[in-house]
Amino acid sequence: MSADDNAVKFIKQHQGNLAISILTVMEVLSYPFDDEQATKVENFLQKSFVWLEINHDIIFKTAHIRRIKKMKGIDALIAGTALVHHLPLATRNLKDFTHLPIELINPIDKSV
């Protein structure tokens, strides 16, 4: 099973219990899909996740993370969103977030 297959399996297993930052939605939809693929991905994201918007609490948490940890803006916003909502963060890039007080999940790990 490929890494992408594992990620899709993870999402389907947890469907209805997952949330996603609107920034992650933007990142995913920025891939060079053709129109048909883009529509399928949009529909998949809408039915698989609760979309989390950016609010004042997330902005303040993100600014704190960037000030203390010197993280990139998008990664800090995604982490700030998870922290404010008290949610684990599912990512392939665990090393980018290990220095934060957040539960990390690798969705491509076969054991998840």
pLDDT of residue 111: 63
Q: For each of the domains in the chain, give its residue range(s) and CATH number, in order of start.
A: 3-105 (3.40.50.1010)
Cα dihedral 23, 25, 31, 34, rounded to 10, equals -140
Tens-digit pLDDT profile for residues 27-83: 999 999 999 999 999 999 999 999 999 999 999 999 999 999 989 999 999 999 999
- pTM for the model: 0.85
**Phi, psi (degrees; rounded to nearest 5) at 107:** -70, -10
CB 66 within 8 A of CB 76: yes
- DSSP-derived 3-state class of residue 52: strand
Q: What is the pLDDT of residue 104?
A: 97
User: Please, which pLDDT band fits residue 95 given cuts at 50, 70 and 90?
Assistant: very high
- Cβ contacts of residue 21 below 8 Å, gap of 6+? 51, 52, 54, 77, 78, 81, 82
Side-chain half-sphere CA neighbours of 43 within 13 A: 6
**pLDDT range class, residue 112, cuts 50, 70, 90:** low
What pLDDT does residue 9 have?
85
pLDDT classification of 6: cutoffs 50, 70, 90 = confident
| Region of residue 70 (left: phi > 0; alpha: psi -120 to 50; beta: else) | left
